């Protein structure tokens, strides 16, 4: 594609979700327990990277975090699984 002067594009899925995690640190610990085979890192800007998946706090209230969750097409299965976990009331309340 580069020979034709075309730029390759990455397809990413992005969604927002509210979770009752008390902090990004607590959410990082929860993700490490739930996905032990994945590399979960709390970044200096307080976002979380799980492989190529980005979780970034978009808002914070007294009892929950609003998160932006973004993942590339290649990580669709893991991204969907993560989003489902975060959307589950039972899982999002467990610390």
Q: For the segment 66-89, what is each residue's pLDDT rounded down to a tens digit? A: 999 999 999 999 999 999 999 886
**Whole-number pLDDT of residue 93:** 47
Q: For the chain, what is the domain count? A: 1
Query: Could you report how far apart the first and last alpha carbons of the chain are, in Å?
Result: 47
Q: Which domain holds residue 39?
A: 11-78
Dihedral (C-alpha) 88, 86, 33, 52: value to the nearest 10 degrees? 150
How many CB atoms neighbour CB 55 within 10 A?
27
How many CB atoms neighbour CB 59 within 10 A?
11
The verdict on residue 85 lying in a domain is no
Query: 36: domain CATH number?
Result: 3.30.310
Q: pLDDT (tens digit, 9 = 90+) per residue, 15-70? A: 999 888 888 999 999 999 999 999 999 999 999 999 999 999 987 776 788 999 99
The verdict on pTM exceeding 0.75 is yes
CA 53 – CA 32 distance, rounded (Å):
14
In eight-state DSSP terms, residue 37 is T
């Amino acid at each position: 594609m580069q020979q034709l002067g075309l730029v390759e594009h990455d397809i990413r899925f992005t969604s927002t979700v509210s979770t009752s995690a008390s902090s990004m640190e607590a959410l990082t610990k929860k993700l490490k327990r739930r996905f032990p085979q994945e590399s979960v890192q709390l970044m200096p800007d307080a976002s979380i990277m799980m492989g190529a998946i980005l979780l970034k706090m978009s808002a914070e209230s007294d009892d929950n975090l609003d998160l932006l969750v973004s993942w590339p097409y290649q990580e669709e299965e893991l991204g969907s699984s993560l989003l489902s976990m975060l959307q589950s009331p039972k899982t999002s309340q467990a610390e």
